Structure 1
Amino acid sequence: MKFRAFKDVSVAEVGLGTWQLGSADWGNVNEQEALQILQSYVDAGGNFIDTADVYGMGVSETVIGKFLKANTDKEIFVATKLGRRGDAGNGWPQNFTYDAIKRHAEDSLQHLGLSQLFLEQLHCIPTDEMRTGKVFDNLRKLQQEGLIRYFGASVETSEEALICLEQEGLASLQIIFNLFRQHVADEVFAKAQEKGVALIVRVPLASGLLSGKFKEDTSFGANDHRNFNANGDAFNAGETFSGIEFKEGVRLAGKIKAMLPDERMAQWAIRWILDHPEVTTVIPGASKISQVHSNVEASGLQALSADTHQQLRKLYDEEIYNKIRGHF
């Protein structure tokens, strides 16, 4: 595992996303399986775990908290997110007041068993809320009070990323960036690097499309977002298959696979992301230990050739970009 700088610490360039561990929107992962996935990731040299308060409404954070309690000898950096809760009178715009943000951060601290959050991120909140800047003032106050060490934002669009980059003290941006979403590098990366803001890449495998394992007739469970949100019916289509229609995505994934050095499509898709030096860490999820091992393997691969990068970008510009749906 190789590491990259995140402010004053070094984090694994391949992190672990834990949406799956909430046993919501991806099918079910029981607690024992979740703990084994976390252990496998850390045993492989990983130290950066991303979660959110709404992943199973605290389930993901709680299982991570149990894991941390059993691994106090290891330095593990946990990033969480807030802003999307709709329980007990919460919701938009109530979630963005100082009192609500503090309450949600304190809930995350309790779930994780921590006294301070390493990184608290806004969780794809409305663009207008980012633009006013008040929510960032609230995060700064939490930082001054010692509840959080750093704050960042998870965003849907380049426009939102650029809005956030104007905020003093922003430590990180979490963005969708993959072989089905290449233009983000053109629009955001240089500015983030100029500002010293870490880039956390989510949806690196386009919900599994870029693993090369799906066929046009592949089906998903009723509680899997790749079923109920395939066309953006529940939330932004960009979060599922990066906004590409599934069958079209399978076809395009086949074209991408033919350009890669060998059959390890998932690993090369992650390697492609890591070939961008502005990226701090990529956070593929895992519902199986084998997926953890596959993801981590990307850190040890050599960079793709300049010619391969050019071929992949040409395919993107000519056949992929105009097929993206949702906010991007």
Structure 2
Amino acid sequence: MNLISLGNSDMEITPIGFGAWAVGGDWKFGWGQQDDSDSIGAIHQALELGVNWIDTAAAYGLGHSEEVVARALEDWSGPRPYVFTKCGIIWDDAGKVDFVVRAKSIRREIEASLKRLKVDTIDLYQMHWPADELEETLEGWAEMAKLREEGKVRWIGVSNFSAEELEKASEIAPITSLQPPYSLLKREIEKDVLPYCGKHGIGVIVYSPMGSGMLTGAMTRERAASLPKEDWRTNSPEFQEPKLSENLALVGRLREVAAASGRTPGEAAIAWTLRRPEVTAAIVGGRNAKQVKGIIGAMDYRLSGVEITHIEGV
């Protein structure tokens, strides 16, 4: 399996990493109820199939995802994977979330994440979202650079940044990686963000390459209509008309291309994101071992130009 260097780091990662968003369970931006044993089984399955990094965040499940990742790794006897997490979304005792990247807040967050993950150092620490005010974003980024100097984190990255925000943050400290949303349903970063990262050697690990489940091949009109109310996707236009019909037609094209190679639509959707030279790797979530097994094959799946044209409906 090919390993790829992530940005300016010494980490060589697999083309797919395990995303632990859904394993956090029920919270404001969650995917509904989740069984921890299924989550641990999904993580173990990904590692058994060769994945060598896990991406989580303090906010996922309000700390629960990090705890589940730690439990999964306690029971794992193979090579230890890299563990990436994020800061910048905090919550109160009532579970109300807020977006804060002030230095003092990040300092509190890192200590909590280290404790939940049961580690002394985090491999990649990422700012989950930039603040509305650039001044706050840069204050937080400067603090993350200090955390790296202190050895609490090995490398630092960002998530959901614009090209302008990447430029400003880079003036304070080098950015190892960017984590943006990217899929056939969300292509905005192609305009300036991906070119910026390619030019400046910033690694890109994209999230939601399967459109938050829409492009897996398992989503149907009926399933979209029956998502539990606590699933954040019930408020997404992509899972409602008129976008729903367009997206299901896109899945049909993914299925046609994937079937010719004995692959799944989800694998084709992931491979589509990996076609870009600026994209280092893709984050792929799974709520159980079976789901993981059906998509990890995308690590060695590459699409031809003709297949890409057909998928895009050109």
Amino acid in structure 2 at the alignment position of 1:66? R
CA-to-aligned-CA distance 1:22-71 (integer Å, 9 cap, x gap): 11221222222211111111111111100011111111101111222333
Of 282-291 and 271-280, more deviation after overlay is shown by 271-280
Alpha-carbon distance between aligned partners in 1 of 2:279 and 2:188, rounded to the nearest angstrom: 14
Cα contact 2:70–2:117 (8 A) shared by 1: yes
Matching of residue 222 in structure 1 with residue 194 in structure 2: no
Alpha-carbon distance between aligned partners in 1 of 2:2 and 2:247, rounded to the nearest angstrom: 30
Cα contact 1:117–1:147 (8 A) shared by 2: yes
Alpha-carbon distance between aligned partners in 2 of 1:160 and 1:185, rounded to the nearest angstrom: 16
- Matched residue, 1:254: 252
Structure 1 residue 258: Cα displacement: 4.1
- Matched residue, 2:305: 306
Structure 1 residue 293: Cα displacement: 1.2
Amino acid in structure 2 at the alignment position of 1:230? S
Alpha-carbon distance between aligned partners in 1 of 2:114 and 2:249, rounded to the nearest angstrom: 43
TM-score for both structures, normalised by structure 2: 0.86
TM-score for both structures, normalised by structure 1: 0.83
Alpha-carbon distance between aligned partners in 2 of 1:79 and 1:310, rounded to the nearest angstrom: 34
Structure 2: runs of 5+ lacking an equivalent: none
CA-to-aligned-CA distance 1:139-166 (integer Å, 9 cap, x gap): 1111111111111111065665565566
CA-to-aligned-CA distance 1:60-110 (integer Å, 9 cap, x gap): 1011112223336523111111111122599657x3222210110110000
- Matched residue, 1:326: none
Q: Secondary structure at the match of 2:156?
A: strand
- Matched residue, 1:14: 16
Alpha-carbon distance between aligned partners in 1 of 2:166 and 2:259, rounded to the nearest angstrom: 32
Of 44-53 and 173-182, more deviation after overlay is shown by 173-182
- Matched residue, 1:236: none
Matching of residue 147 in structure 1 with residue 146 in structure 2: no
- In the TM superposition, what are the counterparts of 1:122-161 in structure 2 within 5 Å? 122-129=127-134, 133-155=138-160, 160=165
Matching of residue 190 in structure 1 with residue 195 in structure 2: yes
Cα contact 2:142–2:172 (8 A) shared by 1: no
Amino acid in structure 2 at the alignment position of 1:267? E
CA-to-aligned-CA distance 1:273-301 (integer Å, 9 cap, x gap): 22223211211110121111122111122
Alpha-carbon distance between aligned partners in 2 of 1:312 and 1:184, rounded to the nearest angstrom: 19
- In the TM superposition, what are the counterparts of 1:142-291 in structure 2 within 5 Å? 142-155=147-160, 160=165, 164=169, 168-218=173-223, 219-227=226-234, 229-231=235-237, 245-258=243-256, 260=258, 262=260, 264-291=264-291
CA-to-aligned-CA distance 1:117-152 (integer Å, 9 cap, x gap): 111111123342478522111111111111111111
Alpha-carbon distance between aligned partners in 1 of 2:136 and 2:313, rounded to the nearest angstrom: 34
Matching of residue 5 in structure 1 with residue 5 in structure 2: yes
Alpha-carbon distance between aligned partners in 2 of 1:38 and 1:224, rounded to the nearest angstrom: 21
- Matched residue, 1:318: none
Cα contact 1:260–1:308 (8 A) shared by 2: no
Q: Secondary structure at the match of 1:273?
A: helix
- Matched residue, 1:113: 118
Structure 1: runs of 5+ lacking an equivalent: 232-239, 316-328
CA RMSD, Structure 1 to Structure 2 (Å): 2.7
Amino acid in structure 2 at the alignment position of 1:308? E
Alpha-carbon distance between aligned partners in 2 of 1:282 and 1:171, rounded to the nearest angstrom: 16
Alpha-carbon distance between aligned partners in 2 of 1:172 and 1:166, rounded to the nearest angstrom: 15
Report how many residues are paired: 304
Amino acid in structure 2 at the alignment position of 1:250? L
Cα contact 1:153–1:164 (8 A) shared by 2: no
Q: CA 1:225–1:54 in 2, change beyond 3 Å: closer, same or farther? A: same
Q: CA 1:69–1:288 in 2, change beyond 3 Å: closer, same or farther? A: closer
- Matched residue, 2:31: 26
Q: Secondary structure at the match of 2:280?
A: strand
- The alignment-based identity, stated in percent, is 27
Q: CA 1:204–1:67 in 2, change beyond 3 Å: closer, same or farther? A: same
Amino acid in structure 1 at the alignment position of 2:211? A
Structure 1 residue 207: Cα displacement: 1.2
Q: CA 1:247–1:86 in 2, change beyond 3 Å: closer, same or farther? A: farther
